[in-house]
Amino acid sequence: MATLGVIVSHKYAPITTQTMRLEKGVEQFYYALLFSGSPGYRNHQEIWRSWAGLGFHVATKVAPPGTSAGDKVTMTMRSNGKIPEISAVASSKETLAKVEKVLRDIDSLRASVTGLEDEARAAALLKAPQVVQGLVKPVTDALNKSDLRPEEKESYLTMIRRGLAAFSHPDVTSIKVSLN
């Protein structure tokens, strides 16, 4: 099992909703990259539809339907005042490494979206070449091969934007990631 550790430092202690969005962002990025990059899921259209049907709410605590037991990620969050610590444990070290790269890229781009509102920050990051290459393109390529309805495909981009907005929140001062 591999562990991705994520420490997100803030200017002020984040509210519960913010910490939940950070944790859910790591989890959802993991599953999106797992399903779009793993041979066992890449051409499995039903998994995308069933996940969209489940929804992307921060309170959802189950893996997307159709995820094999060995691919599920276990998430933990430790609130440490201004520095929440997120841990993601999974058997797919390759997928966790992709999430690690995406989070490093977001951290390197945070300064470029300072001062923007949530939607504007997320939209700018969604177009950043590093985020496109590491997250958006693999997911949209997989979705475009599916027979999902346009609104279902859009729900995935909304989910990605929500995670991008959480990690680029104005109070975030740094994102440290480690993979073991």
Tokens 């962002």 correspond to 25
Q: Please, what is the end-to-end C-alpha distance for the chain in angstroms?
A: 9
In the chain, where the domains are located: 2-179
What's the confidence (pLDDT) of residue 156?
97
CB neighbours (10 Å) of residue 61? 9
- Give per-residue pLDDT as tens, 128-154: 999 999 999 999 999 998 888 999 999
The residues near 69 (Cβ < 8 Å, ≥ 6 apart) are none
What's the confidence (pLDDT) of residue 64?
96
- Give per-residue pLDDT as tens, 91-128: 999 999 999 999 999 999 999 999 999 999 999 999 99
Mean pLDDT of 158-180: 97
What's the confidence (pLDDT) of residue 177?
98
- Give per-residue pLDDT as tens, 17-55: 999 999 999 999 999 999 999 988 866 788 999 999 999
From residue 152, how far is each of 10, 47, 124, 163, 171 by CA, in Å? 33, 12, 22, 17, 31
